[in-house]
Amino acid sequence: MTEISTVENFIDGEFMPASRFLDSYDPSVGEVWARIPASGKHEVDLAVAAAKRAFPIWSSKSPSERAKVMNKIADLIEENLDELAKMESKDQGKPVWLARAVDIPRAVHNFRFYASSILHTRNSSTILDVGATNYTMHMPIGVAGLISPWNLPLYLLTFKIAPCIAYGNTCVCKPSEMTSVTSWMIAKLLVKAGLPNGVVNMVFGDGPEAGSAIVEHPDVPLVSFTGGTETGKKIMALASPLCKKLSLELGGKNAALVFDDVDLDEVIPTMVKSGFMNQGEICLCMSRIFVQESIFENFVNKYVNSARNMLVGPPSEASSKLGALISKEHLNKVKGYVALSVEEGGMIHCGEGVDEICLPQKYENGYYMLPTVITGLGPNSRCMQEEIFGPVVCIAPFTTEEDAIEKANSVKFGLSACVWTNDVRRTHHVSQRLQVGTVWVNCWMVRDLNMPFGGMKASGIGREGVNDSIEFFTEAKCICIKY
Ligand code: NDP
């Protein structure tokens, strides 16, 4: 029997035992492995009060003092990489190697990058003919509410905490109720790094109770949220009567466009990764692929062969390319879309309903699913329009460049897209017309935090990335001096 961890809220630098709990499951075996606080308004009030008390102290520290603590946090995360990767894998179901290679290093980078950026920030100034000068200042705002999802627990939570505290704000975080253990471990490292009490607070619990209490709190003037589009709409409705500053990173239904001038053997390994990495549970996964009709059949054969070779298995095994999905409910939802695709006229080439999954006995109750590839769906079918957020990729042909662009843009989402071509003119022509926040050409998930990141249409409001984070986490002030 596995020992069950009991998570505590982290408020004002203290770990506070809870009186009500929610179960947290290890998706790899389908068993409860942790109890997390079922927090509500009371705990949020305490956390906001602590963050509010800490704000004048933290915001008056110099950038180099803040950077020093943030670099220490990064060092500690790096020192604990193995343990954090194992925990995140147990929390979320992803392979341990993936957490080691991507999630935890990115958490380290988030702190180092923003720690460094605040040492190089420059303010603008102008000189007027009337004998006056203007200069701008970026002022930290106060207590931020940071609400994050379960799919990349540390990567995304630290992508909010790092810029928030770098610019002098304090915060109350609400990680997903399904992946709270890893965030709790980070809280322990914050204490070790010497972050002053109350600068970062973590309240665990579910969204409708703990999350909305943060969004509605009058002393939280800004909210940064990453999650589903439907939740984003609710948050917007809760925040708007109080005129809060909002950043919403929401869902996606990303398209990859493959033109006939590419070398399929060269591009398919990355394309398959872009469909199925993290069990397809990345907002940036390419869940729709449009392929030029002259190479369609060849592409499907090669893609399916490659997808079929992606081993699904225990997250602890280095050979497992995919681990378990986050929860039983989510697994059923994703499988439900595959069943729906058949009703919608789709043909399943590999994966769910076609191939057998083979797991060691210990993992038989885990939430596993094979990479599934579907063709034959119409552009308006639900499987082509809705975010499935699992290991399911739908492939369809296109005729011309115009047709490819129209198909890619024909969804309500606008997060990201990939263009696979060696034609320079087409690279620019197509990329510029895709209605998404990020276009990758001949690559996927290559990110520079200097660049804006975010979604168009139903994929969100606002951008993250260094300049955009300054805009979001500070208020610009202009001072005009006549001389
Ligand atoms: P959810 O929208 O269900 O939840 C996200 C966070 O919001 C969780 O912490 C959740 O808490 C909380 N929440 C839920 N309801 C409320 C509420 N009424 N008020 C305040 N907070 C609330 O998303 P998932 O966790 O299921 O994550 C998957 C989604 O996130 C996908 O749609 C994916 O595309 C999107 N995403 C977007 C990214 C981007 O950069 N654009 C990046 C990564 C994911 P709890 O779950 O504990 O109830």
Which residue has a Cα nearest atom 32 of ligand 1?
A: 228
Give the integer Cα–Cα distance in Å for 115 and 72: 10
- pLDDT for 389: 98
Residues 45 and 185 in one domain: yes
Low-confidence ranges of the chain (pLDDT < 50): 1
Most ligand 1 atoms within 8 A of CB, residue of 21, 283, 284, 459 to mutate: 283
Residue with tokens 């800490």: 54
The total number of structural domains in the chain stands at: 2
Residues 166 and 281 in one domain: no
For residue 71, give the CATH number of its domain: 3.40.605.10
- pLDDT for 3: 74
- pLDDT for 358: 92
Residues 48 and 164 in one domain: yes
Most ligand 1 atoms within 8 A of CB, residue of 22, 103, 147 to mutate: 147
Contact 369, 278 (CB under 8 A): no
Residues 20 and 161 in one domain: yes
Residues 246 and 259 in one domain: no
Q: What is the span of the domain harbouring residue 120?
A: 5-250+459-482
Which residue has a Cα nearest atom 40 of ligand 1?
A: 249
Residues 200 and 296 in one domain: no
Most ligand 1 atoms within 8 A of CB, residue of 92, 150, 464 to mutate: 150
- HEC letters along the chain: CCCCEECCEEECCEEECCCCEEEEEECCCCEEEEEEECCCHHHHHHHHHHHHHHHHHHHCCCHHHHHHHHHHHHHHHHHCHHHHHHHHHHHHCCCHHHHHHHHHHHHHHHHHHHHHHCCCCCCCEEEECCCEEEEEEEEECCEEEEECCCCCHHHHHHHHHHHHHHCCCEEEEECCHHHHHHHHHHHHHHHHHCCCCCCEEECCCCHHHHHHHHHHCCCCCEEEEECCHHHHHHHHHHHHHHCCEEEEECCCCCEEEECCCCCHHHHHHHHHHHHHHHHHCCCCCCCEEEEEHHHHHHHHHHHHHHHHCCCECCCCCCCCCECCCCCHHHHHHHHHHHHHHHHCCCEEEECCCCCCCCCCHHHCCCCCCCCEEEECCCCCCHHHHCCCCCCEEEEEEECCHHHHHHHHCCCCEECEEEEECCCHHHHHHHHHHCCCCEEEECCCCCCCCCCCECCEECCEECCECHHHHHHHHEEEEEEEEEC
Residues 159 and 180 in one domain: yes
For residue 315, give the CATH number of its domain: 3.40.309.10
Amino acid at position 2, single letter: T
Residues 431 and 477 in one domain: no
Each residue's pLDDT tens digit, 100-155? 999 999 999 999 999 999 999 989 999 999 999 999 999 999 999 999 999 999 99
Each residue's pLDDT tens digit, 295-305? 999 999 999 99
Q: Is 230 a catalytic residue?
A: no
Q: Which of 283, 285, 383, 394 is catalytic?
A: 283
Q: Which of 177, 216, 249, 352 is catalytic?
A: 249
Q: Is 358 a catalytic residue?
A: no
Pocket of ligand 1 (CB under 6 A): 147-151, 156, 174, 176-177, 206-208, 211-212, 215, 226-228, 231, 234-235, 249-252, 283, 387, 389, 415, 455, 459-460
